[in-house]
A and B are shown apart, each in its own frame.
Chain A
Amino acid sequence: MMAVSPTRMGLLRLRRRIALARKGHDLLREKMDALVMEFFEVLRRIYEAREGAFQQLARAHAQLSLCLASWGTLETEQAARETRKGVFLETSLRYVMGVPVPVAEVGETVRTSLGRGYSLLSPSLLDRASEEFERALKLLVEVAELEETARALAGELERTRRRVNALEYILIPRLEAALKFIAMRLDEMEREHFFRLKRIKAVLERREEAGGVPEG
């Protein structure tokens, strides 16, 4: 039970609070529904993008294995160290229903043999492995962006759900109980008041009958 003053004013104030809480509850509900729809849309896109990206990554690893086996592990790793390292993401934030989600652009990842910067005498197997990894990287950036978006939406969904539940199962029932308490208390006070009036009237009448009060 909350601390409430059993007065008409308290009653009015409570009614207003309940109306407000209900409105908030409805709005949060709508937000939750919209988030769920958004979440499922992102999820659908993840499943699409992920398969493609992971297949590409598998191709890249197959190509790399060939290179490691035929050209040699040390040589390949040396070339990997010499490769020009120029991969950057252009990142920013996007807001989906007030939830910040990452945006990342990687640009063109596939380079020419010259652009890679390792020795031009290296075998074409190495070029092929590099190219497959470059392709995989671009696809993986997209998947990462989508997965992080889904994660952010899921988190917000969770928080919204908690707030909806708190309103629905805790705050609103409590306010309603308080309202009921005040209403009952006010009724009771009214009955007491009425009873007092009757008593006073009876006393006055008795005095009148006894002739205590001279007639004017």
Chain B
Amino acid sequence: MRREVVVVGDRETVTGFSLAGVARGYVHSSREETLRVIRGLLAEEGVGLLLLTHRVAEELGEELRRMLRGKGPFPMVLRIPDRTGYRPERDELEEMVKRTVGAEVVLRREEE
């Protein structure tokens, strides 16, 4: 199935990806507005990839996490650095690894 790419972030990120041919970009301004946009995008069949800057993701916080929790394989959501290269110290991926692997360690210990 053909699906499109959507980018949500700061102005430079949106401009950059438009230059690369991404049709839809949303410049983040207010938290409520961006949350509403993302909620809509997640429900859209035709969205294959949602690029979201780390900084915006961080500002949306727990509400975004909750939205993403029950999500299927599509749309894929990827957090990316913005023009300043900002990446949080503990990103979602590392959290997930710790959760998965951490419990794994405990489980191995129980076996002995």
- Could you list which residues of chain A lie within 8 angstroms of chain B, going by C-beta atoms? 36, 39, 43, 46, 54, 57-58, 60-61, 64-65, 68, 76-77, 79-81, 83-93, 100-102, 104, 109, 111, 116, 126, 129-130, 133-134, 136-137, 140-141, 143-145, 147-148, 150-152, 154, 157-158, 161
Contact = CB atoms under 8 A, between A and B. Distances in A.
B80 A140 contact: yes
Given A61-B83, A144-B49, A161-B107, A76 B2 contact: no
Contacts of B12: 61, 64-65, 68
Nearest to B78: A144
For chain A, what secondary structure do more than half of its interface residues adopt (helix, strand, loop), or is it mixed? helix
Contacts, number: 141
Contacts of B96: 150-151, 154
B80 A92 contact: no
A155 to B, nearest CB: 9
Contacts of B74: 91, 102
Contacts of A61: 12-13, 16, 82-83, 85
A129 B51 CA distance: 18
For chain B, what secondary structure do more than half of its interface residues adopt (helix, strand, loop), or is it mixed? mixed
B22 A89 contact: no
A57 B19 contact: no
Given A61-B83, A148-B73, A80 B2 contact: no
For the complex of A and B, the 10 pairs showing the least CB-CB separation, nearest first, are A85-B23, A133-B20, A144-B78, A80-B18, A89-B48, A102-B73, A130-B19, A87-B21, A144-B76, A134-B20
A6 B14 CA distance: 71
A5 B42 CA distance: 52
Nearest to A43: B97
11 contacts: A54-B85, A58-B85, A61-B85, A80-B16, A80-B18, A89-B2, A102-B73, A126-B19, A136-B20, A141-B49, A154-B96
Interface of B: 1-5, 11-23, 48-49, 51, 72-74, 76-78, 80-83, 85, 87, 93, 96-97, 99-100, 103-104, 107
B83 A64 contact: yes
A203 to B, nearest CB: 58
Contact of A157 (B73, B80, B100): B100
Nearest to A64: B16
A161 to B, nearest CB: 7
Given A91-B2, A126-B19, 17 more contacts: A64-B12, A64-B16, A68-B15, A76-B15, A83-B19, A87-B22, A88-B3, A91-B1, A92-B1, A102-B74, A111-B21, A133-B17, A133-B19, A134-B20, A147-B78, A148-B76, A158-B103
Contacts of A92: 1
A90 B2 contact: yes
The CB with the most chain A CB atoms within 10 A, among B2, B19, B74, B85, is that of: B19
A58 B81 contact: yes
Given A65-B12, A147-B93, A148-B76, A161 B103 contact: yes
A41 to B, nearest CB: 13
